[in-house]
Amino acid sequence: MRQVYRCPLRWADMDALGHVNNVRYVDYLQEARVDLLRLHGRSALGEELAEGIVVVQHDIEFLAPLAYRIEPVTIETWVTEIRAATFTLAYEIFDEDGGGRRVYSRATTRLSPFVFAAERPRRLTADEKELLGRFLEEETADD
């Protein structure tokens, strides 16, 4: 299952070159991530997983320039790996374009649950693993 998030752009996301600045894509990924974790994590798990995570690694490919427009861009988010104390999200930022997709970016983020009071990572609970498992998609060999 993939979470679909319709991400609104802001005019100020454009840089002096007239395109959405690369840093703003990372903002969009954050919004998609918060949307997935807050919306789905809220009732079952409280706000713990939504609020108490840290980013361990981003890998972000930029495939096409994105121009500002009023319509939101679409972001699909899903899970590619669940381990003891980390999990990995994958994202695709795109527009539907006739029969296909115009893909602006593909990215992954490795995350870790984190206890801010103690400033240390922690293991995923069984409930959290079950929640994330609903979004799990094995990566195919040709990916």
For binding to a second copy (CB under 8 A), which residues are involved? Answer: 8, 10-12, 14-18, 21-23, 26-27, 30-31, 34-35, 38-39, 51, 54-62, 65, 68, 70, 116, 119
Residue 30 vs 133, nearer CB to a second copy? 30
Residue 8 vs 133, nearer CB to a second copy? 8
Smallest gap from Cβ 93 to a second copy, in A, equals: 14
Question: What's the Cα-to-Cα distance from 9 to each of 2, 70, 92, 121, rounded to whole Å?
Answer: 21, 7, 16, 32
d(CA 43, CA 38): 9
Residue 24 vs 126, nearer CB to a second copy? 24
User: Is-contact 65 21, C-beta < 8 A?
Assistant: no
Residue 21 vs 74, nearer CB to a second copy? 21
Question: What type of residue is 36?
Answer: L
Smallest gap from Cβ 22 to a second copy, in A, equals: 4
Smallest gap from Cβ 78 to a second copy, in A, equals: 19
Rg over CA atoms, the chain? 16
| Phi, psi for residue 119 in degrees, rounded to 5 | 55, 45
